[in-house]
Structure 1
Amino acid sequence: MHAPPTDLPALPPQQSGAPYRNPEPSTGPTDQPSGPAWWMWALVSGLFLLYATLSLRIHEQLGSHSFDLAIFEQAVRSYAEGHLPVSEVKGAGFPVLGDHFSPILALLAPLYWLAPSARTLLMAQAGLIAVSVLPLTLWARRTLGSPAAAMIGLCYGLSWGIANAAAFDFHEWVFAVPLLACSLSALGSGRLRAAACWAVPLVLVKEDLGLTVAVIGLVIAWRAGRGGRRAGIALAVAGAACTALAMLVVLPALNPNGSYFYASFLGGGSGAGGGGGFGALLYKLTIGLVTPDTKVTTLMMVFAPTLFLALRSPLVLVAVPSLVWRGVSDYWPHWTTGYHYSLTLMPIVFAALIDALGRRGTSPAGLRRALVGIAGVCLLLLPVYAVGRMAKAEFWRDDPRAVVAQHLMARIPDGATVQASDALVPHLANRTSVSLFGWPESRPEPQWIMVDTRVAPDKRWPLSLRDESISLAQARSRGYKSVAQRDGFVLLNRPDRRS
């Protein structure tokens, strides 16, 4: 760990000689009040309620997963109980800090003391996303005026990358969202010391974000000119060093297999230029970044919410590390617009948008046209992605099977060892030692087994229907007895196991 630089000058935007200047805009007033306006708090509150409702409703309808919600809950539960994080879902006693370096999760332990539930993580995620609107809208108001700031804040809060992340479990990356928003807003405003200080904690969010810190440091060095260049470069070196230390030392030391598992995603095994070595790496960093076509589609979608105006700002360079590692990965979900992988890109591209619009030469008419286009893209994409689910009647309709599942899970005693289906695991993680049924690394011979046999084929994981039936039959042959069987849910207990 390196202390944040303290000798960065807050260079005035108009100072001559700075390689990267963020001049006062000609598109909006600059005498705005410094504190948040009432409408900003209303926007933050509305987005919090929106995403809390979205994620909690999905969870109640058995739409959350063992990977990743239950893993993170088990990690936070470990911190709340006073020991280093482990996850039974990943494997019996698996050390979570050997999987990803995310010690920042310990900040959720006090909340978990008050409400030990997966809902606590989902509510915290909604709050962290919502509060990230504040620094962006404050900066936009100073440079573009209140109406433009309100429109940008709303479109940012409803952007598809954020919506998809809120609808898909909980992830540690959510801590990076307000940190990035604060750091880049400070950087765009010329407050370079603040930009560096907000960037430093990113290395505690996840191991790869040290590279993002490194790019922020380079942009600070570029922006500061000769006076603060050394401090910006020091931040860049510190960020890169933290990533190297985490990936090459800390994670292999804590991982039971003695390696950084996710390095295998960058191995070149599935690329057309496979075979390993420099040739495979060169292929991945060139042709591999734009093939298959899904990668190009995702890249276009990242910048589409800003009408590609974000590309006019140097701040967009902060997105490069995330875009590159996703492009070279062999893991196909990294390429897509689904899941949570675009969450940290949204504050970057919208910060770059504010910077681009705040540059001299953007006329009031041009600003209005840009805002209308951005709002149009937001409205066009809104029903396509996660928020669109809330417009469907079935989203609000109570699922009788979910009620049955909760009733049967209540029969499992606190502290018991359990194996359960993917969607049931998050509902048991707060009070049992639960792992995934059919997962080879799960703790063997649990006291209880609960399986949902009516999972749709496209959502069934990790076992097919046939394999699941075989596994249940094998469990019964080992002495597990049926406690209940209702609406497709099967609850088994082994009488000779202490419960």
Structure 2
Amino acid sequence: MQVFSPALATTKRLVKLLSPERREISAPVSHGTLLAWGIAALCFGLYAALSLSRHQLMLTTGYDLGIFEQAVRSYAHGDLPVAELKGHDYPLLGDHFSPITATIAPFYRVWPSPVTLLLVQAFLLALTVVPLTRWAHRVAGSAGALVIGLGYGVSWGIAQTVGFDFHEVCFAVPLIAFSVEALGNERWRAAVAWGLPLLLVKEDLGLTVAAIGAYIAYRGTRRLGIITAVTGLAGTAVEMLVVIPAFNPDGVFAYFDKVSDSSDAGALDLFMRYTLGLVTPETKLLTLLMLLAPTAFFALRSPLIFIAVPTLAWRFASNNEAYWGTRFHYSAVLMPIIFGAFIHALTSIHRERSAKNRESAVRRSLIVSAAFTVVMLPLFPFAQLAEGATWEPGPRVAVAHHVLDLVPDGATVAASNRLVPQLTNRCTVMVLGLPQNQENPEWVVADTRDPQGWPISREQEAGEVERFREKGYKTVKEEAGYVLLQRM
């Protein structure tokens, strides 16, 4: 009988594993995963549609889609990244430390187009939905997962990122989401494994790695947390003070001037700047409210919220007003932290309250979250998908494509900012009007009727065209406000 006991024990385990009770326990997990991937697929469709339609309408720009395409194009040809848009043969590793963008190079070799970058970004941002929705499903069931997954997927921070070109932060968002989910479930090593690659995304994200380490030291394994925190701080310091200056033509980290100069400030001024000044003017406070409102402010109940502090601190301490508000892509890395803290807070409600009070609190928070999502949706870029003009490019777009088709492959071109990413896959392109660019490109193409207004105004754009004409450039094509000049 002893001979058969191991086989009998194995059989019992198999029966238990395949029993109806076991299937019932595992079914919600499978359903949650299916729901998560379904929402992610829907979000990918939204992101791709918005990005590609904006590119087709010529609303994407050289700053920043063009710059990142030039970087990926360099990697795809086996070179370190350079961007003519930043200056002649400008080394991008001397601007920001984002070597992770090299991972797009194999895809770009197959399809050398800015569309490749936009689709990669759409995929990475949509992937973020998966860990958060699965986690929400375990905590709040299908309804909660649907509210949180969709709420996160169309949240304003993600919408602003998708609606403004391509940025390297699209790599950071899924890394942070998986790391936060691991932190919330006390899988410390997994959290570190997901967090450390942030050092390859951008130099400031080492501070987020340090915050992840501090959280682990506080809530979990102290030694692992301290090592992670030190690694994050050291990574940021080395990248800003050593690596970037080594590649930068001027030997410096060029973005220190974005932080207010404190050299002549007194003690009281410094105190006010880094206390009350972090929430004033009101733009900063509005950003905080917009971050917390989708969670019905429940995110404040979770210590995971403190992982957002480093990003908020450097943004609000900066003298660059563009960092303070809800525009552009700067809040993308905060959204998975905020929603992760929301889910974590709901977990604490399950532990702290009775069943009746727990269900009531969760239901209220989800209703508020869903209502905020619905109210905010028309105010941010995803609403463009409901506009007819998004799907029906006007006649000027066709004219622009015709004009740009006259520029030969491999040429050097100075172009209006919105025309740049239409050429970066086949030409050496610079933004018209920036002084650091070449003075004598082979071609000049400008939109004198409806330019973006950056880096120069409409009047200056027309003035640049005349300046090149006076230098002997010949007008090859002029139609519907688009002007194409060729150097003679």
Tell me the TM-score normalised to structure 1 length.
Answer: 0.89
Q: How far is the alpha carbon of 1:267 from its aligned partner?
A: 2.9
Matched, 1:242 2:235: yes
Q: How far is the alpha carbon of 1:277 from its aligned partner?
A: 6.9
Amino acid at match of 1:338: R
Aligned residue for 1:412?
A: 407
Deviates more, 1:471-480 or 1:171-180: 471-480
* Distance in 2, Cα, partners of 1:376 & 1:138: 21
Aligned residue for 1:490?
A: 483
Q: Please, which of 214, 231, 256 is the counterpart of residue 218 of structure 1?
A: 214
* Distance in 1, Cα, partners of 2:461 & 2:134: 53
Q: Say which SS state the counterpart of residue 384 (structure 2) adopts.
A: helix
Matched, 1:230 2:223: yes
Matched, 1:351 2:340: yes
Deviates more, 1:110-119 or 1:31-40: 31-40
Once the two structures are superposed, the pairs formed by residues 315-326 of structure 1 within 5 Å of their partners are 315-326=304-315
Q: Please, which of 302, 309, 312 is the counterpart of residue 313 of structure 1?
A: 302
Aligned residue for 1:199?
A: 195
Q: How far is the alpha carbon of 1:298 from its aligned partner?
A: 1.0
* Distance in 2, Cα, partners of 1:267 & 1:259: 17
Aligned residue for 1:23?
A: none
User: How many equivalent pairs are there?
Assistant: 458
RMSD: 1.6
Aligned residue for 1:140?
A: 136
Q: Please, which of 272, 278, 286 is the counterpart of residue 275 of structure 2?
A: 286
* Distance in 2, Cα, partners of 1:199 & 1:369: 32
Q: Say which SS state the counterpart of residue 28 (structure 2) adopts.
A: coil
Q: Based on CA coordinates, which of the two structures has the bigger radius of gyration? A: 2
Q: Say which SS state the counterpart of residue 37 (structure 1) adopts.
A: helix
The runs of at least 4 aligned residues of structure 1 exceeding 3 Å deviation read: 29-32, 34-37, 274-283
Asked whether the equivalents of residues 92 and 441 of structure 1 are also in contact (C-alpha less than 8 Å), the reply is yes
* Distance in 1, Cα, partners of 2:243 & 2:58: 35
* Distance in 2, Cα, partners of 1:257 & 1:193: 39
Asked whether the equivalents of residues 32 and 138 of structure 2 are also in contact (C-alpha less than 8 Å), the reply is no
* Distance in 1, Cα, partners of 2:213 & 2:315: 22
* Distance in 1, Cα, partners of 2:457 & 2:150: 42
Q: How far is the alpha carbon of 1:466 from its aligned partner?
A: 2.6
Matched, 1:462 2:455: yes
Aligned residue for 1:54?
A: 50
Matched, 1:186 2:175: no
* Distance in 2, Cα, partners of 1:45 & 1:31: 21
Q: How far is the alpha carbon of 1:312 from its aligned partner?
A: 0.6
Q: How far is the alpha carbon of 1:393 from its aligned partner?
A: 2.3
Once the two structures are superposed, the pairs formed by residues 99-178 of structure 1 within 5 Å of their partners are 99-178=95-174
* Distance in 2, Cα, partners of 1:166 & 1:278: 41
Matched, 1:90 2:86: yes
* Distance in 2, Cα, partners of 1:276 & 1:472: 45
Amino acid at match of 1:329: S
Q: Say which SS state the counterpart of residue 85 (structure 2) adopts.
A: coil
* Distance in 2, Cα, partners of 1:378 & 1:361: 27
Q: What per-residue deviation string (whole Å, max 9, x for no partner) do you get for residues 65-87 of structure 1?
A: 11111000100111001010000
Q: Say which SS state the counterpart of residue 332 (structure 2) adopts.
A: coil
Aligned residue for 2:6?
A: none
Q: How far is the alpha carbon of 1:275 from its aligned partner?
A: 3.7
Q: Which structure shows the higher helix fraction?
A: 2
Q: How far is the alpha carbon of 1:209 from its aligned partner?
A: 0.3
Deviates more, 1:312-321 or 1:135-144: 135-144
Q: Please, which of 352, 362, 368 is the counterpart of residue 361 of structure 1?
A: 352
* Distance in 2, Cα, partners of 1:358 & 1:31: 20
Amino acid at match of 2:232: G
Amino acid at match of 2:407: I
Aligned residue for 1:400?
A: 395
Asked whether the equivalents of residues 268 and 280 of structure 1 are also in contact (C-alpha less than 8 Å), the reply is no
Amino acid at match of 1:134: V
Q: What per-residue deviation string (whole Å, max 9, x for no partner) do you get for residues 163-212 of structure 1?
A: 11001000001101110110010111111110111100011000000000
Aligned residue for 1:24?
A: none
Asked whether the equivalents of residues 304 and 377 of structure 1 are also in contact (C-alpha less than 8 Å), the reply is yes
Aligned residue for 2:434?
A: 439
Q: How far is the alpha carbon of 1:281 from its aligned partner?
A: 4.2
Q: How far is the alpha carbon of 1:62 from its aligned partner?
A: 1.0
* Distance in 2, Cα, partners of 1:345 & 1:401: 38
Asked whether the equivalents of residues 173 and 343 of structure 1 are also in contact (C-alpha less than 8 Å), the reply is yes
* Distance in 2, Cα, partners of 1:179 & 1:36: 20
* Distance in 2, Cα, partners of 1:331 & 1:39: 40
* Gapped regions of structure 1 (runs ≥ 5): 1-28
* Gapped regions of structure 2 (runs ≥ 5): 1-24
* Distance in 1, Cα, partners of 2:339 & 2:267: 35
Matched, 1:264 2:260: no
Amino acid at match of 2:302: S
Amino acid at match of 1:394: A
Asked whether the equivalents of residues 268 and 284 of structure 1 are also in contact (C-alpha less than 8 Å), the reply is no
Amino acid at match of 1:119: V
Q: How far is the alpha carbon of 1:387 from its aligned partner?
A: 1.1
Matched, 1:75 2:68: no
Q: How far is the alpha carbon of 1:299 from its aligned partner?
A: 1.4
* Distance in 1, Cα, partners of 2:119 & 2:458: 34
Q: How far is the alpha carbon of 1:483 from its aligned partner?
A: 0.3
* Distance in 1, Cα, partners of 2:137 & 2:148: 10
* Distance in 2, Cα, partners of 1:37 & 1:231: 30
Q: How far is the alpha carbon of 1:252 from its aligned partner?
A: 1.3
Aligned residue for 1:300?
A: 289
Q: 1:38 to 1:268 in 2, by over 3 A?
A: same
Q: Say which SS state the counterpart of residue 208 (structure 1) adopts.
A: helix
Q: 1:259 to 1:328 in 2, by over 3 A?
A: same
Q: 1:69 to 1:279 in 2, by over 3 A?
A: farther
Aligned residue for 1:18?
A: none
Q: How far is the alpha carbon of 1:139 from its aligned partner?
A: 1.5
Q: Please, which of 469, 473, 486 is the counterpart of residue 480 of structure 1?
A: 473
* Distance in 2, Cα, partners of 1:197 & 1:223: 17
Aligned residue for 1:336?
A: 325
* Distance in 2, Cα, partners of 1:294 & 1:127: 31
Aligned residue for 1:5?
A: none
Asked whether the equivalents of residues 188 and 216 of structure 2 are also in contact (C-alpha less than 8 Å), the reply is yes
User: Identity, % of aligned pairs?
Assistant: 49
Tell me the TM-score normalised to structure 2 length.
Answer: 0.91
Asked whether the equivalents of residues 32 and 142 of structure 2 are also in contact (C-alpha less than 8 Å), the reply is no
* Distance in 2, Cα, partners of 1:124 & 1:282: 43
Determine which structure has greater relative contact order: mean sequence separation of CA pairs < 8 Å that are 6+ residues apart, divided by chain length.
1
Q: How far is the alpha carbon of 1:248 from its aligned partner?
A: 0.8
Q: Say which SS state the counterpart of residue 460 (structure 1) adopts.
A: coil
